[in-house]
Amino acid sequence: MKILVTGSSGLVGTALVADMQRAGHTLCRLVRPGQNVGSAPTHGFDVNWNPATGELGGAAVGADAVVNLAGAPIANGRWTESRKQLLVSSRIDTTRSLVNALARMAARPRVLISASAIGYYGNRGDEILKEDSPPGPDFLSEIAKAWEAEAMKAEALGIRVVLARFGIILAKGGGAFPKMLKPFRLGLGGKLGSGKQWMSWIMVEDVVNILRLAIENGAVRGPINVVGPQPVRNVEFTAALATAVHRPALFAAPALALRLAMGEMADALLLASQRVLPEKLNRLNFRFAQPDLASALKSILSLES
C-alpha cells in the first residue's frame, strides 16, 4: 500500500513509518515548508505539504491510506492564549486543509486515520468511558470535538474515517514517559495530587499495531479508544514505576503546587481522571502486546539497558 503520513517526526509517526516500511509498504511523509524530518523512508519518499495554502505535492496521487498525526505537542509550554491558539490551529486547521486536499484528488484514498485524544472525555472521575461516551466541557474536549469533526468531513468524499483517541503513550525514546521517569530515578517520585485520578495508558508498540489494524480492516470506522485494557489510578502507576526503578516514591506533588507551576495545564494533563476502556478493540479481539503496567514498564526499562 501507499500511505501518506502527517506528523511523521513525532513519537507515533516515527514508529509507524518504521513499522510499515519494514512490512514493505510505500510511506510518503507529508513535509511542511521548513520542516526537518531527516532522511526519507527506505520504502517511500517525502511529499511537499503546505497546510496554510492547501498545496499537496503530486507524488501523493495514488495513496491508499492517510494517517493524520499532525499537532503541536500539548505539554510543551504553559497554556498562554497564543499557545492555546497554536494547539487549536495545528490540529483543526491542518486537518481541514488535509481533507480539502483529499477532496481535490481524482482518485482518493480508501481510509483516513486521524489522531484525537482521550482528552475528548474531560475529567470524569471513576466513570467508565467507552467510545460512545459523551465529550467533556473543557479546553481539550473542545479541541478534540472540533478536530474530529473536521476529519469526519472526509466521509462525504467516500473515505472511511477512523478517529484514534490516544491515551498516555509509553515509550522509551519520547513522549511523556521519559519526563515521568526522571524524578523517580532520582528518588524524587510520588503521586500527583490525590493520586486517585485514573490514567489510561498504552505502549507505543500497541499503538502502531492498532493503527495498522485501522488501515487494513475496513470494518473499523469512527472513534476508537487507543488505550490498554487496564487503566490504573495515579497512585498505582506511581507505585509500579517506583518498583520498576527500585526507588521509593515519597515525594507527592500537591495539586495546588502543580497548578501554581503549570496553570490550567495541570488540571487537564495531570489531575484529570479518565478511566477509558478500549471497547471497540475488545470486540475486534485485539491482542495487546503489553496489557498490564508492570510488564510494560519492565519492557521499556529493559530496552534502555
Distance CA 67, CA 164 (A): 10
Q: How many other C-beta atoms are found inside a 10 Å radius of the C-beta of residue 23? A: 11
Q: Is the predicted pLDDT of residue 41 greater than 80, yes or no?
A: no
What's this model's pTM, rounded to 2 decimal places? 0.95
CA distances from 117 to 62, 219, 223, 250 (A): 29, 21, 10, 31
Q: Please give the Cα distance from 121 to 165 (Å, whole number).
A: 10
How far apart, in whole angstroms, are the C-alpha atoms of residue 46 and residue 77?
29
| Length reported for the chain | 305
In the block, cell 500497541 appears at: 206
Strands 201-203 and 2-6: unpaired
- Topology, domain 2-175+201-227+275-289: Rossmann fold (3.40.50)
Tell me: the pLDDT tens digits for 145-182? Answer: 999 999 999 999 999 999 999 999 999 888 889 989 99
**Span 99-148, pLDDT tens digits:** 999 999 999 999 999 999 999 999 999 999 999 999 999 999 999 999 99
Spatial contact of 116 and 223, defined as CB atoms under 8 Å apart = yes
DSSP codes, 190-245: --BTTS-SEE-EEEHHHHHHHHHHHHH-TT--EEEEE--S--EEHHHHHHHHHHHT
Q: How many CB atoms lie within 10 A of CB 287?
A: 9
Alpha-carbon Rg of the chain, whole angstroms?
Answer: 19
232-233 vs 198-199, strand pairing mode: antiparallel
Which of 139, 168, 181 lies closest to 265, judged by CA? 139
Please tell me the predicted confidence (pLDDT) of residue 79: 95
What pLDDT sits at residue 107?
A: 93
- Nearest Cα residue to 71 out of 151, 160, 153: 151
pLDDT of residue 304: 59
Q: What is the pLDDT of residue 303?
A: 67
* CA–CA dist 64, 26 (Å, integer): 10
**What pLDDT digit, counting tens, does each position of 176-203 carry?**
899 899 999 999 999 999 999 999 999 9
Residue type, 146: A
State whether the Cα torsion 133-88-47-52 is positive or negative: positive
Q: Is the pLDDT reported for residue 305 higher than 70?
A: no
Band (pLDDT 50/70/90 cuts) for residue 208 is: very high
Q: Give me the residue spans of the domains in the chain.
A: 2-175+201-227+275-289
